Structure 1
Amino acid sequence: MTIFNTLPNYQAAVAKFTESMANDADKATQNALYAEAMQTLGSDLTETLTNSNKETLEGMFASQHANKGMTATEIKFFNDIAKNVGTKNPLLLPEETVNEVFEDLVSEHPLLGAINFKNAGLRLKALVAETSGAAGWDNVFTDIKNQLDAVFTEEDFSQSKLTAFVVIPKDALQFGASWIKQFVIAQIGEAFAVALEAAVVNGDGNKKPIGLTRNLNNGTTSNGVTTFNPKTATLNLTTLNPQNAPTLLQPAMSTLSISEKGKSVAIGGSVIMLVNPSDYYALEAKFTALNVNGVYTFTLPFGIQVMQSVAVTAGTAVIFVAKRYDAYVGGGTEIKEFDQTLALDDLNLYTAKAYYFGKPKDNNVAVIATLVAQGA
């Protein structure tokens, strides 16, 4: 269990935010609920610090982050946070700290680890390739007959800026640079992960990534920005059981194995069924069996992996090819003292900003399924 699972107020606030995105609430509501979740995170961490000693909280952080030591640049940066609280100038987090946040994102959050998530460094554009073709045999020195084609597109993600609040209790500044670093990156990583997971599943493309549940061929464009509408469920799995699973899941596998342009895609070992935690254990119970070694195993046909995400609407499932979703983080991470109305006397409040891009390669990357009949 990580430190964030021990914060019930924060977990409840996250659930409200992800539900608002899944239900296409207006942008102001989504932003307000995200800000509320981040404030709750800071408040819960502060209360934890108040109600426990430093060593206890350090132990909780240790379970969340491997202590990789600090470079001279990081030591200076986090010492400066402790000493120069009054600065209003934005500063870029050290690159090694950003890399550590990125590594934690992909290692501690299964969905973010499964997709094709890359760190673009300080760049704000990425080259995305869709390859086709096949290698061919022939005599040496003859003309090349079978070329591998690659269509490259340049994706600009400067408009998808993600902001998180970072709270540092003034009393914590005395603990030193190493402790402050863990406190800061724990909050940045968790805040970014919550927003990213919600966007990877349900993002509408308006100043955020395009989610797996969105129809890339159905959107509304205004002022050069396209907002993509949700896909409809095309697969009925309400009667899914071990006996009929191959038959019911086969149409999804067939769709995923062909790109929207009609080209075959190798999907073996890359298909994931994403479900809400409230549906996960009912599904696991159906497909768990005791093997000859006396060990319970949970398996679906075709090697489909099952993952949980609060971003998925209860009663539905998102079946997708993980390696066919492109996601990038770039532009560095900027941190700045927050000097507006949320600042409190006993807290130093900062904003952390980074740029993210995410998009399925085409509409055949994901299939939406119904797990529970409406009204059931």
Structure 2
Amino acid sequence: MKNLDFINNAKTNFAKQLKEAFADKDEAKMTSAFEQYATSLQQAIIDTAAEVGATADNAILAKRGFRQLTSEEQSFYNNIKTASKAVDVKQSLAGLDVTIPQTVIDTVLEDISNEHPLLDAINIENTYGSVKAIFATDTKQMAAWGALNSQIAQELAGTIEEKDFSASKLTAFIPVPKDMLELGATYIDAYVRRILADALAYGLEDGFINGDGKNKPIGILKNINGAVTAGAYPDKTATKVTKLDIKSYMPLIGKIAKGKGGKTKSVPFVDLIVNPVDYLTKVIPATTVLATDGSYKNNIFPYPTRVFQSEMIAVGTAALGQLSKYKACVSTGKGGKLEYSDQNQFLEDNRVYTIKTFATGFSYDETDFLKLDISALEPLAIEVTLNSKSST
């Protein structure tokens, strides 16, 4: 797509503004962030459409980042275009029963996975309209010989848990300018998916990291065994870490390996989640040494470690654990209809739509993730010991 550097810069600013808005719980800041980012995307797509022209075939569009739509998706975007021209847009959408096709949500989740490694590592599940999900709470069940009596059946039943996340939702604004509506379904699809992917990605990252469980996911930095106040879970107590050497690092891995009821967990590797600023100024110096040949050797951890950067985690704070242990689901659910909003007209000559996406996320074990204080993390230094021999 044209002006990729411009779009990438706009995306970076969008993430920063959303982070501030989430932290301040300021809806006006969220609206402003959407406005600025949407304007950037709109102009880029309109410019691309003008450059490609009306005669472009699917192969040409595919090279520019656009995709061939299914018949259901084509109908969906055509319905939007039709409704947008009505005098009463809200009534027209209600009459059309406009629901975002699940294939669009699948593509959005795929886009998120490709561009947000942290969310890809979590492996978010699409529950296809359901706002309830069933999970096994204990992956290490002991098998028993003999008949399956009522006592064993009851024990197994206790390892299955249902999560209702109908109260936990993200809402994204999708301002669609009338000029873009005239470009056709393919271009509208690219725009809507980009807005949804980026809005969902940053919203989900914030929820999965910092969510307090009150109409939000329970974030990895929250204490799931702590006292819940008004539906909100407390923060974990941070462990101060000044070095990432073997003496400091391995006790942390040992804590992660301890599970419920004295059980142990397999930990073939760990994930370290840090703010990009800390990654550059703290983690790289703490995991890099100058070799004797004059080259730098980096990513030196005493245990297999994947590092993930997220702007949604605070500077000075890190999380250590296994992202694959975090349970996450996303669904458009009953609120997955695209709805017209007349309360968010922050751009002129626009039709502004909203989409509610339901999501949940939580850990089963308090030790799945540790909260670390890395504000005083020291650079890595190689210690050299000299052994002197005294002559007799």
| Map of 1:361 onto structure 2 | 364
- Whether the 8 Å contact between 2:250 and 2:302 is mirrored in structure 1 is no
Give the C-alpha shift of residue 237 in structure 1. 2.3
CA distance in 2, matches of 1:366, 1:63: 41
CA distance in 2, matches of 1:64, 1:372: 43
| Map of 1:83 onto structure 2 | 82
- What does residue range 144-159 of structure 1 map to in structure 2 within 5 Å? 149=156, 151-159=159-167
Give the C-alpha shift of residue 232 in structure 1. 2.1
Q: Secondary structure at the match of 1:158?
A: coil
- What does residue range 28-43 of structure 1 map to in structure 2 within 5 Å? 29=26, 31-43=27-39
- Whether the 8 Å contact between 1:315 and 1:372 is mirrored in structure 2 is yes
- What does residue range 9-158 of structure 1 map to in structure 2 within 5 Å? 11-19=12-20, 21=22, 25=24, 27=25, 29=26, 31-48=27-44, 54-55=50-51, 67-85=66-84, 86=86, 87-88=89-90, 89=93, 91-131=98-138, 132-134=140-142, 149=156, 151-158=159-166
Q: 1:75 to 1:52 in 2, by over 3 A?
A: closer
CA distance in 1, matches of 2:306, 2:17: 27
Name whichever structure is richer in strand by fraction: 1
1:23-55 deviations in whole A, cap 9, x for unaligned? 5x4x4x2x3333332222112223445777644
Q: Does 1:254 align with 2:254?
A: yes
Q: 1:352 to 1:36 in 2, by over 3 A?
A: same
Q: 1:228 to 1:301 in 2, by over 3 A?
A: same
- What does residue range 140-289 of structure 1 map to in structure 2 within 5 Å? 149=156, 151-222=159-230, 226-234=231-239, 236-240=240-244, 245-269=245-269, 271-282=270-281, 283-288=283-288
AA aligned opposite 2:83: N
Q: Secondary structure at the match of 2:30?
A: helix
AA aligned opposite 2:35: Q
The counterpart of 2:375, out of the listed 340, 354, 372, is 372
Give the C-alpha shift of residue 56 in structure 1. 8.1
CA distance in 2, matches of 1:373, 1:95: 46
Return the TM-score normalized by structure 2.
0.79
CA distance in 1, matches of 2:229, 2:63: 45
Q: 1:69 to 1:198 in 2, by over 3 A?
A: same
Q: Secondary structure at the match of 1:216?
A: coil
Give the C-alpha shift of residue 262 in structure 1. 2.4
Give the C-alpha shift of residue 302 in structure 1. 1.6
Give the C-alpha shift of residue 5 in structure 1. 7.1
- Whether the 8 Å contact between 1:10 and 1:37 is mirrored in structure 2 is no
1:214-244 deviations in whole A, cap 9, x for unaligned? 111224443xxx111211212x32233xxxx
Q: 1:314 to 1:77 in 2, by over 3 A?
A: same
Return the TM-score normalized by structure 1.
0.82
Moved more, 192-201 or 89-98: 89-98
AA aligned opposite 1:267: V
Q: Secondary structure at the match of 1:12?
A: helix
1:315-337 deviations in whole A, cap 9, x for unaligned? 22111211211100124432112
Q: Give the fraction of aligned pairs with identical amino acids, expressed as a percent.
A: 29
In angstroms, what is the RMSD of aligned CA positions?
Answer: 3.4
AA aligned opposite 2:165: F
AA aligned opposite 2:358: Y
Q: Secondary structure at the match of 1:227?
A: coil
- Whether the 8 Å contact between 1:10 and 1:44 is mirrored in structure 2 is no
Give the C-alpha shift of residue 343 in structure 1. 5.1
Q: 1:351 to 1:69 in 2, by over 3 A?
A: same
CA distance in 2, matches of 1:301, 1:5: 39
- Whether the 8 Å contact between 1:215 and 1:228 is mirrored in structure 2 is yes
CA distance in 1, matches of 2:63, 2:363: 33
1:293-326 deviations in whole A, cap 9, x for unaligned? x996534222111010001111221112112111
Give the C-alpha shift of residue 187 in structure 1. 0.5
Moved more, 96-105 or 82-91: 82-91
Q: Secondary structure at the match of 2:262?
A: coil
Q: 1:17 to 1:106 in 2, by over 3 A?
A: same
The counterpart of 2:349, out of the listed 341, 346, 349, is 346
AA aligned opposite 1:44: S
Q: Secondary structure at the match of 1:166?
A: strand
